[in-house]
Amino acid sequence: MEKKANILMQRYELGRILGHGTFAKVYHARNLKTGETVAIKVIDKEKVLKVGLIDQIKREISVMRLVRYPNVVQLFEVMASKSKIYFAMEYVKGGELFNKVARGKLKEDAARKYFQQLIGAVDFCHSRGVYHRDLKPENLLLDENGNLKVSDFGLSALGESCRNDGLLHTTCGTPAYVAPEVINKKGYDGAKADIWSCGVVLFVLLAGFLPFQDSNLMEMYRKITKGEFRCPNWFSPEVRKLLSKILDPNPHTRITIAKIKENPWFKKGYRPVEQSKPQEKEDRITVDMIAMDVHNAFSQDAADLYSTSSSSSSSFSEKIGEGKSEYSMKPTYMNAFDIISMSQGFDLSRLFEKEKNRNSESRFTSTKTASAIVSKFEEIAENERFKVKKMDSLVKLQGKKEGRKGHLSINAEIFEVTPSFHMVEVKKASGDTLEYNEFCNQELKPSLKDIVWAWQGGEQPPLQPNLLNNEAFRV
C-alpha cells in the first residue's frame, strides 16, 4: 500500500525528498517504463495562485522546453492534478556548484571549464530568445561527470517580454550578481545582464568570495554601479583583463559572448558543444509541446485565470511571459529590489541620474484591493472630466481639456506588495508640471483619502520593516 501511494500518474515512483522551498518540493524518482532516474518537482497550485506566481510557472515551463541543451537541466514533461503541478526533470546528482566554492576557491583550469560550459549554455539560451536573469553558483548544478547544468529558470524572460523599447524592465535576480542597469530600473538588455552575472560567477569561482560585497546594501549597489572590484593577487593577468571587460558597468561597451569566445584565456581547452540533427527536429515542434504543457498544468482548475484556447490572431507569447494580460487588470508584483528602491532611505536613483524632477511623481500605500483602488481613480476621472484607460497594472488619466502645455496626462501604476497591501505610483505623463501639482494637491489627494494608508514622506512609513521578511519577497 505504501509503495502504491508513491506512484505518480502511473508513470513515476517517488523516492526521497531532494529539496524543498516555499512553493515546491523536489523528489528523487524513477520512470516506471524506462527505469531512468529523474527529479520530480511538485508545485502547490494554491500557494502560487495566492501570491500571483502563475505567470512565472508558465514562463518556466515554456523556457525549459525551448532550451534543450547538454549544459541545461532538461524538462521531460509536465503533469497536473487538481491541486499540484509536476515537473519531470533531468536528475543531476552532483549537487550545486556553490558547494564546491564553499570549500574554497577553484584552480584556474577547473574554473575555466565551468565558465566555458556556462557561457556555452547561456549563449544557446540567448539564441532561443531566453534570458536567465538569476545566474549564480546555487543555480548551476554538476552531473556525475562533473559537467555543469544551468537550472532554475523561474525568473527567466523570453524575448517577446521586451517592451517597445526592446528592453526588459522587471527588476529581479540576486543582489550581488545583478548588473548595474538592472538596479537602475530604466530597462536593460537581458543578454548583457546575463553576461555580467557570468562575470561575477567566474570571479567567485577563482576567488572564493564575491567581487561586490558589503554589509551595507547601498554601498554594495554603489560598488556595482561604479564597477568597483579588486582582483586577488593570484588572478592571472589574462583573467584580470577578461573580467574588466565583462564587469564593465556600461552595458553598451560590455564585452559580448562572441568576443568572450574569442578571448585567448577562454579558448584554452575549449570544446564547443555540437547540436545534433534530432535536436533541430525537436525545435520545430517546441511551440506545440509548450502549449500542451501549459494546458496540462493550468486547465483543470485555473480556467478563470488563464484560458488555454486562443484565436488564430492571438500570439502564444502574450499568454506566458511578462506580456500584457487580455483578461483583467492585475497589479505588478513587487519583489525585494522594488521594495528596497522605493522605500525611504533606499532611493538609489541618485546613483544613476544626475537630475530628476521629483515634483512630477508621488507614491502612496493602501490596504484596499486593486479593484477598489482602480474604482476610486475612475470616480475621480468622472468628476474631473478625464478619460480613463486601464492596461495591465496601469491606470491612465487623460485630460479632456488642453492646458498650458497640452493635455494633462497622469499614470497611476499599482504594485502588489502582499495580497492585502498595495503601493501606487502616480506620475505626470504629459502636460504642465504646475497644473499637475495643483490637481494633485487640491483634487487628487483629498479624493483618495478614503483608500490611502500613507503618502510617501508622511507621518506613517510607506512600508513596514516586517514586510521585508515576508516569504513573497524572496530574491
pLDDT in tens, 405-462: 778 889 998 888 777 788 898 988 888 888 888 888 888 888 898 888 888 754 444 3
In a domain, 305, yes or no: no
112 and 66 both lie in a single domain: no
340 and 422 both lie in a single domain: yes
Quick: pLDDT tens for 330-348: 676 666 666 655 555 455 5
Dmax over CA atoms of the chain, in Å, equals 78
Query: Which residue segment(s) compose the domain that 155 sits in?
Result: 97-267
Domain end, chosen from 267, 284, 303, is at 267
193 and 230 both lie in a single domain: yes
In a domain, 276, yes or no: no
229 and 117 both lie in a single domain: yes
Note the pLDDT of residue 342. Answer: 57
In a domain, 297, yes or no: no
114 and 82 both lie in a single domain: no
| Number of domains into which the chain is organized | 3
146 and 197 both lie in a single domain: yes
CB environment 450-470: b (16+ within 10 A), e (fewer): ebbeebbeeeeebbeeebeee
What CATH number does residue 415 fall under? Answer: 3.30.310.80
56 and 147 both lie in a single domain: no
Note the pLDDT of residue 265. Answer: 97
- Between 471 and 372, the higher pLDDT residue: 372
Q: In 91-161, at which residue ranges do the beta strands (DSSP E only) sit?
A: 130-131, 140-142, 148-150, 157-158
Other beta carbons less than 10 A from residue 107's beta carbon? 10
Quick: pLDDT tens for 427-441: 888 888 888 888 888
- Between 97 and 394, the higher pLDDT residue: 97
175 and 37 both lie in a single domain: no
In a domain, 210, yes or no: yes
Instruction: Find the mean pLDDT for residues 136-151.
Output: 95
Instruction: Find the mean pLDDT for residues 96-101.
Output: 91
What CATH number does residue 52 fall under? Answer: 3.30.200.20
In a domain, 151, yes or no: yes
Binding site as annotated, residues for ATP: 41
Q: In sequence order, what DSSP letters do the residues of 148-160 get, joined into one string?
A: EEE---TT-EEGG
Rounded CA-CA distance 131/239 in Å is: 25
184 and 247 both lie in a single domain: yes
* Percent of the chain residues topping a pLDDT of 90: 38
What CATH number does residue 190 fall under? Answer: 1.10.510.10
Instruction: Find the mean pLDDT for residues 470-475.
Output: 37
In a domain, 109, yes or no: yes
Residues in a beta bridge with 365 = 423, 454
Q: Of the residues 55, 134, 189, 194, which is catalytic? A: 134
Quick: pLDDT tens for 373-395: 888 888 888 877 788 888 777 88
What are the CB-based long-range contacts (under 8 Å, 24+) for 72-77?
72/121, 72/124, 72/125, 72/149, 72/150, 72/151, 73/141, 73/149, 73/150, 73/151, 76/38, 77/293
From 337, 322, 331, select the one nearest 473 (Cα to Cα).
337
- pLDDT category at 329 given cuts 50, 70, 90 is low
- pLDDT category at 466 given cuts 50, 70, 90 is very low
Binding site as annotated, residues: 41
13 and 39 both lie in a single domain: yes
In a domain, 248, yes or no: yes
Domain end, chosen from 251, 267, 283, is at 267
16 and 64 both lie in a single domain: yes
Domain end, chosen from 70, 91, 112, is at 91
Any catalytic annotation for residue 248? no
190 and 45 both lie in a single domain: no
